[in-house]
Chains A and B, each alone.
Chain A
């Protein structure tokens, strides 16, 4: 059984640029959630995707957007990057009917300069 994977591991971008982060869910999981974790803080829920549709969103502006593909992998896109977007971005997947039991990937560390 393959766990949740994320790419890239690290990324450095300049303010104003756009970035795409990728996540492959664990086998059998059709729900993907994204979290932003600023340094020294707990993760904050960005949004969740279920069957290719957004299924809940946290308090993040529209420049944070996502996609889910038929194989349940997912992308997180952030436009017009700001310095405060520097964080660890975590992806978590869950199986049908068990979205409270989420399995996390290793994260992508984004630095915006």
Chain B
């Protein structure tokens, strides 16, 4: 069964520092993708970044980058220069057959 594991229920980071949120996945698909979404306290899911399994480069979107290690089945999100507005829940997501499979989430708190 496809599964996403996020082992960090909560993380703290100092403003302006970088932080890495961990994600491991289990899939039998040969070609697949992985997303990260941000969910502020308002509840809306905000798309951050996408990585395809056959992409040669790690995905980057502004301050977000994905440390993709296919052999280890990990897709860690790196946020550089953290801002107070980055405080939110972060979900690692695997699309499969039209549905999205979410990890348990990591709650990130950015300290001033």
Interfacial residues, chain A to chain B (CB-CB below 8 A): 31, 33, 35, 40-45, 48, 55-56, 58, 88, 90, 92, 99-107, 109
Interface residues of B in 87-104 (CB under 8 A from A): 91, 95, 97-104
Residues B43 and A41 in contact, CB atoms below 8 Å apart: no
Measured CB to CB, the closest approach of chain A to B75, in angstroms, equals 15
Chain A residues contacting B100 (CB-CB under 8 Å) are 33, 35, 43, 45, 92, 100, 102
CB-defined contacts of B61 to chain A, threshold 8 Å:
none
Q: Is the CB of A42 within 8 A of B43?
A: no
CB distance from B31 to the nearest CB of A (A): 11
B42 at the binding interface (Cβ < 8 Å): yes
How many whole Å from B58's CB to the nearest CB in chain A?
A: 19
**Which residues does chain B contribute within 8 Å of A88, judged by CB atoms?**
43
A104:B45 contact, CB within 8 angstroms: yes
Q: Which A residues are CB-close (under 8 A) to B103? A: 42
Name the A residues within 8 Å of B45 (CB-CB): 43, 90, 92, 104
The residues of B with any CB-CB pair to A shorter than 8 Å are: 4, 33, 37, 42-47, 50, 91, 95, 97-105
Is there an interface contact between A109 and B43, defined as CB atoms closer than 8 Å? yes
With both chains docked as a complex, state the minimum distance between the C-beta of A24 and any C-beta of chain B, in angstroms. 15
B94 to chain A, nearest CB (A): 9
Which B residues lie within 8 Å of A43 (CB)? 45, 91, 100, 102
Nearest first, the 8 closest Cβ-Cβ pairs linking A and B are: A42-B102, A100-B95, A104-B45, A45-B99, A107-B43, A99-B98, A106-B44, A43-B102
